[in-house]
Structures are given as structure tokens and as C-alpha cells.
Structure 1
Amino acid sequence: MKGLAGKKIGVAADRRADEIARLIRNMDGRSAGFPIQGSHQYNQETARRDVLHFLKKRFGYVLLTTGIGARTLEDAAAGIGHRRSFIKKLSDETLLIRGQKTADWLKEQNLAYEWMAEDGTMAKLLSYMEKDTGKSGKSVYLQAYNLDDAALKDSLEEMGYDVYLSKPYSFLPPDPVILGRLRSEITKENLDAVVFTSKTQVKQLFSKEQQPVIDAFNRSVLATAVGKVTAAALEEQGISYVLQPEKAKMGAMIVALERYYREGAHTAAHF
């Protein structure tokens, strides 16, 4: 018998949610979809303004936090006839990136980064920048989005950097009915586990103080994350145990979840 037999798994993802649900079914589990990511809102005018500012100034570092943000800036540059200049200037800058999706975009453009956080976290990038002994007054072009932009900008400015904040896109709030249903199902402990594929989903779930949700996770509902960044966001809320795969892949996450129940790991690790 497969490990997810008799288990009901909540899926907080929107993108690729059908694929995740299929994997759960293939392992004899039941899935319940609660898409709480929130949709992207592309800020085209802002992105175009940010591109023009970037083209006019030399930066000590260009910090790209998401693949979506990098692509949105590229599209904005193309829209005003400056794509080639935008890519060329990126090649002349020192690029720091957070994760693999941004690395993939850079590879498509034949661009190279100076440093990438090996664990995909902003904390690693900030620790790298903290070590720069000549950082005082050095300018940073920071591409971020509306859920973590202020904290990142403040952290860099406290280190001594002069920060230009580019927000080419933002997240709209999820459907409050769906968000409320997920919170209710967790607090009633009607779900055996909930899988999260981004820290944005975690931030949406805990957009208001949700102690009953935290308590339910710490009693019987297994919080499951696709990787370290998402897991860290859950742990920051006070969840004592978060399951995650060794490799940050959606398929690997479901395999780890199935193995967790099949091998009885919850007896030793979750309670």
C-alpha cells in the first residue's frame, strides 16, 4: 500500500496544481486545491521607468531576486526599443541572483552572474553583500516585488548601500473565500498535510495572525514545502516541523511526502 492511501492533502499552489494533484492520486492520496498564491500584476509603466533608470546609471551590484522580475524588465525594455541596450548593460554589471529560475533566464541571454545563493535564500545573498568592505555608498539595483521589498531595501541600506528599488510586478491578494476555506480546513484538522510551493503562499496564509492555524500544524497537519525558502517562511511562523525534499522540485516533494507516511516518519519526527 502506498504511503498516501487514506490521506487528504491540501494544495496551496495555483501554477502546476493539477500536476501536483495527479502525483498525489498516483500515490493513492486525495488532494484538495486551495490556490492562494495570488495572481501576478505586471507593472508595465513602472518597469519601463526602472529600465530607463538602469540604463542611465552604473551600479555596484544588480540584485535580481526572481526570474519573473528579470523577464518583466526584459519585456519592458523591448517595449521601448531598448532590449539590446538592457542586456548589454547587464553584461557589464556585477549580477547577484537568488535562485535557479533567474539563472535560467541569464543563461538564455548569455549572461553570467557573480554569485548565486546556493540555498535560494535572500539571507545568503545579504550575507555575501555584508562582506563587501567597500560597500558604503555603493549603489545597488534591487529587483523585488511587493511582498518583501521594503525589508530587503531596509536591510541593504542599513549595510551602507544606496538602493534603487525596482518592482516590475506585484502579487494581488488571493480569493478571500478560498483563503478562508484553507484556514478552516487546517484549524479543523480535516487535512493530513498541506503542500506549499512558494513563500508567497505562506505569506498569504499568514497575512493575519493565525495562531489556530499554527497550532493545528504543530499538532497533526503536516506542513510540506518544496524547498528551503518556502520551508523557512513556514518555520518563521512558528511551525515546529516542516517536511521538505532534498532537491527543491515539486515531484520530489510529493515523493518525500509519500515516503514520510509510508515509513512512519511522523511517529519520530512530527510529534
Structure 2
Amino acid sequence: MAGLAGKKIGVAADRSAESISKLIQKHEGHPQIFSIQGKQMLNEQICIENIQYFLKNSFDWVILTTGIGAKTLSDAAYENDLYSSFIDKLNKTNVAIRGKKTLDWCKKHTVNVHRISEDGTMENLLAAFTADQQVEQKQVFLQAYNQDDAQLKEELEKVQCSVYLSKPYSYERPDHEVLSNLKKKIIEQSLDAVVFTSKTQVKNILSEQLDTKNIVQAFNEQVLAVAVGKVTANELERSGIVNVLQPENPKMGAMIVEIDRYYQSINA
């Protein structure tokens, strides 16, 4: 019998919620979707301003933290006849990136990468930067979004980097009712597990101090916290959640297989 048979699995994802749900059902589980990612907001005017500033000024390093951010900037550059200049300037600048999606974007647009996070996290990339004395007092173009952007900028400024912060997109708060319903289900421990596919979802579920203690307690007692990859897992663990399940291969399918395997092992 499948390990997920009869298990109620909350799905916090947005775009991938349906495909994850189908995978859970394939393993005889019962998915319940609570999309708490929040609406992604792209700001074309800010993108244009960011690109124009980048093209007019000198930078030693460009740090791209997300594939979405890199794509949003390049799309805006293309729409405003600045694409060739943008890519050419990137290739004349040291480029550092965080994860696979950003690396895929760089390969697609033939952008040379000079430094990449060893484990796909910003913590690893920032540690390498702050430990490198050659990076001190450099001009940095930092692409981020409205979560952790201030912290990332501050970390670079600690080594006296001059940081231009580019925020081509942001996330709105998720639907209040959906978020409240998921919190209630977790605190009541009426779900067996909750699947998170981004740290934004984790931040949203733990955004209010009043609920956080009870939510963390529920995860540490009965509800299994599941992360698609290390960045999401780190965010859960930083909140005090002890048992976080994640697959070795950060893919949706591998994640569901790992949950199924987990329940098979504890039910054996």
C-alpha cells in the first residue's frame, strides 16, 4: 500500500499546485490546496529605470538572486530596445548567481557566470562574497525582490560595497481567508503534512507572531513540514521547525516520492 494512502496533504504552492496535487493523488493521498504564495507583481517602469541605471553606471559585480528577476529585467530590456546593450554589459561585468533557474536563464541568454552559490542559497553566496577581500569596496548591482532585499543589501554593505538595489518584481500578500484556513488546519493538526515550494510561502504562513508559536508547535508534534529544496527548508528550520523533509533532488516529483517513502518507513 502507498505510504500516502489516506493522508491529507496541504499544498501551499500556487502555479504548481495542480501538478503537485495530481502526484499526491497518484500515490493515493488527499491533497488540499491553499495557495499562499501571493500574487506576483511585475513593475515594468522600475525595470526600465534599473536597466537604464545599470547601463549608465559602472559596476564590478551583478548579483542575480532569482530566475524570475533576471527574466523580468531582460524582458523589459527587450521591449524597450535595450536587450543587446543589457546582455553586452552583463558580459563585461562579473556575474554572481544563486540557483539553477538563474543559471538556466544565463545559459539561454549566453551570459557568463563568474560565481555561483555552491548549495543554491543566498547565505552561501553572501558568505563567499564577504570572505573575499577582493570584493570589498566594489560597486554591486543587486537584483532582489521584496523579501530579504534589505538584509542582502546590508550584508554587502558590511564589506563596504556600494549597492544598487534592483527590485523588478514583488509579491502581494496572499488571500487572507486562504492563509487563515491553512493556519487553522495546521494548528488543529488536521493535516498530515504541508508541502512548501518557496520561502515566500513559509514567510507568509509564519508572518504573524501570534500564530507562529502554535504553528511551529504543530509542525514539531504531528504535521510534517515538507520543502521542495534547501532554500525553502532553511526558512522552515530558521523558524524553529525541527523535522523538515526534503528530497535530495529538488523536484516536485522527487518531493512527493520522498513523502511517500517517509510514511512507508514510519508505518512499517
TM-score, normalisation: structure 2: 0.97
Equivalent in the alignment of 1:235: 237
Distance 1:18 1:234 in 2: 23
Equivalences for 1:10-49 in 2 at 5 Å?
Answer: 10-49=10-49
1:89-128 aligned within 5 A? 89-128=89-128
One-letter code of the match for 1:129? F
Secondary structure at the residue paired with 1:182? Answer: helix
Contact 2:137 2:159 in 1 (8 A): no
Q: CA deviation at 1:176?
A: 0.5
1:191 and 1:218 map into 2 onto residues whose CA distance is 13
RMSD: 1.1
Task: Provide the C-alpha distance between the structure 2 equivalents of 1:32 and 1:218, rounded to a whole number of angstroms.
Answer: 20
For 2:145, what is the secondary structure of its paired residue?
coil
| 1:62 counterpart letter in structure 2 | V
Shift of 1:131: 2.3
Q: 1:29 and 1:68 mapped to 2: Cα distance?
A: 31
Aligned-partner Cα distance in 2 for 1:132–1:7: 48
Cα distance between partner residues in 1 of 2:85 and 2:134: 28
Residue of structure 2 equivalent to 1:164: 164
Letter in 1 for 2:62: V
Q: Which residue of 2 aligns with 1:218?
A: 220
Matches within 5 A, 1:125-140: 125-140=125-140
Find runs of 4+ consecutive structure 1 residues off by over 3 angstroms.
none
Cα separation, 2, equivalents of 1:141 and 1:211:
37
The answer for the alignment partner of 2:86 in structure 1 is 86
The residue that corresponds to 2:253 in the other structure is: 251
Sequence identity of aligned pairs in percent? 51
Aligned to 2:62: 62
CA distance in 2, matches of 1:72, 1:211: 36
**Letter of the aligned partner of 1:6 in structure 2?**
G
Secondary structure of the structure 1 residue equivalent to 2:135: coil
**How far does residue 163 in structure 1 lie from its aligned partner after superposition?**
0.3
Report the Cα distance in structure 1 between the residues aligned to 2:237 and 2:40, rounded to whole angstroms. Answer: 25
Q: Which amino acid aligns with 1:135?
A: V
Query: Runs of 5+ in structure 2 lacking a partner?
Result: none
Native 8 Å contact 2:118 2:125 kept in 1: no
Scaled by the length of structure 1, what TM-score is found?
0.96
* Alignment check: 8 A CA contact 2:10 2:32 kept: yes
Distance 1:214 1:173 in 2: 21
For residues 245 and 112 of structure 1, the distance between their equivalents in structure 2, rounded to whole angstroms, comes to 29
Map of 1:261 onto structure 2: 263
Match of 1:263, SS state, is helix
Distance 1:79 1:247 in 2: 36
**Contact 2:48–2:76 at 8 Å: present in 1 too?**
yes
Aligned length: 266
1:137-152 superposed matches below 5 A: 137-152=137-152
How far is the alpha carbon of 1:44 from its aligned partner?
1.0
Code of the residue aligned with 1:57 in structure 2: it is N
Measured after TM superposition, the shift of residue 135 of structure 1 is 2.9
Q: C-alpha distance in 1, partners of 2:94/2:124?
A: 17
Residues 92-142 of structure 1 show CA distances to partners (whole Å, capped at 9, x for unaligned) of 111100000011111111122111112110011101111221333211100
| CA-CA distance at 1:59 after TM superposition | 1.1
